[in-house]
Amino acid sequence: MRAGLALAQRINRPILQWLEISPRMTTPTSSPPAEAQARAWLHTARFLTEAPQLQHLPPLTAPEIAFVGRSNAGKSTCINTLAQQRQLAFASKMPGRTQSIVLFALGKQGCTDAVLADLPGYGYAAVPQAAKRRWQQVMANYLVSRPNLRAVVMLCDARLGLTELDEALLDIIRPRVEQGLDFLVLLTKADKLSRQEQAKALSIARLQTAGGDAMLFSALKRQGVDEVALRLWNWAHLQA
């Protein structure tokens, strides 16, 4: 009897030890390593250059990820949130704040492995018609012809969804998407909608992008930030 008890204790001791340490092994950490790596990479973002038109941009080989969308949709704020920097890109309550194509380099100093492009917003009503057309032309040229463009993130205010102008821009990039350009719609300022409204906005956006990728995003509540960071890292580092 006593021998039996001793044996049970001997067998159980490693099991007990394992049980004691197993919670530490299995409790999920707050963010998986892949997301932490993506966040650290995005934090390296620094100003590279800015240009009023495509032909003034330097030719680059690093994969470029463009942020497009209506004026005031939250493009610059999204870039700052992803980079965990307050004033990398100029964000403002005043629509039309970003007025040129602004590039940010990513990766360790001296070895840029990707570039983010903050594009001027379109659709701002107060801009004169001629200027509007000029900007829309600059944007179309960039999206159609930039050789190292790897992916496009289209930002739309979640309360508005995709507008006619966004859908027209989708038509412009569709041929490149068919050739492998990656594409993601972010419904920004999701914090301004209830959960129910968010779900509705998301399903409408998915329909509008013909089953394409759409996600909810809030810089204020950090909703979707890790998922987008990981997506960007994958685009830049994995083959199309």
Ligand X SMILES: Nc1nc2c(ncn2[C@@H]2O[C@H](COP(=O)(O)OP(=O)(O)OP(=O)(O)O)[C@@H](O)[C@H]2O)c(=O)[nH]1
Q: Decide: residue 222, CB within 10 A, 0-12 exposed, 13-18 middle, 19+ buried.
A: exposed
Of 143, 219, 228, 232, the one binding ligand X (CB under 6 A) is: 219
Q: Choose the binding region for Mg ion from 54-62, 97-105, 209-217, 222-230 (rule: CB under 5 A).
A: 97-105
Between strands 214-216 and 46-51, the pairing is unpaired
Binding residues for ligand X restricted to 112-141, rule: CB under 6 A: 120-121
Of 13, 159, 192, 237, the one binding ligand X (CB under 6 A) is: 192
Q: 146 is in the binding site of which of ligand X, Mg ion, none (Cβ under 5 to 8 A by kind)?
A: none
Instruction: Look up residue 72 and give its two tokens.
Output: 């005031």
Among 167, 165, 153, CA closest to 214:
153
Q: Which residues contact 97 (CB under 8 A, 6 or more apart)?
A: 76, 90, 91, 121
Q: 63 is in the binding site of which of Mg ion, ligand X, none (Cβ under 5 to 8 A by kind)?
A: none
Residue 198 binds to ligand X (criterion: CB under 6 A): no
Nearer to ligand X, 28 or 128 (CB): 128
| Smallest separation (angstroms) from ligand X to the CB of 97 | 4
Of 169, 218, 228, 233, the one binding ligand X (CB under 6 A) is: 218
DSSP assignment of 108-138 equals STT---EEEEEPPPB--TTS-HHHHHHHHHH
The residue at minimum Cβ distance from ligand X is 121
The 65-104 contact track toward ligand X, x by CB under 6 A, reads ----x-xxxxxxx-------------xxx-xxxx------
Instruction: Look up residue 85 and give its two tokens.
Output: 């920097």
Three-class DSSP labels, 57-76: CCCCCCCEEEEEEECCCCHH
Binding residues for ligand X, rule: CB under 6 A, are: 69, 71-77, 91-93, 95-98, 120-121, 188-189, 191-192, 218-220
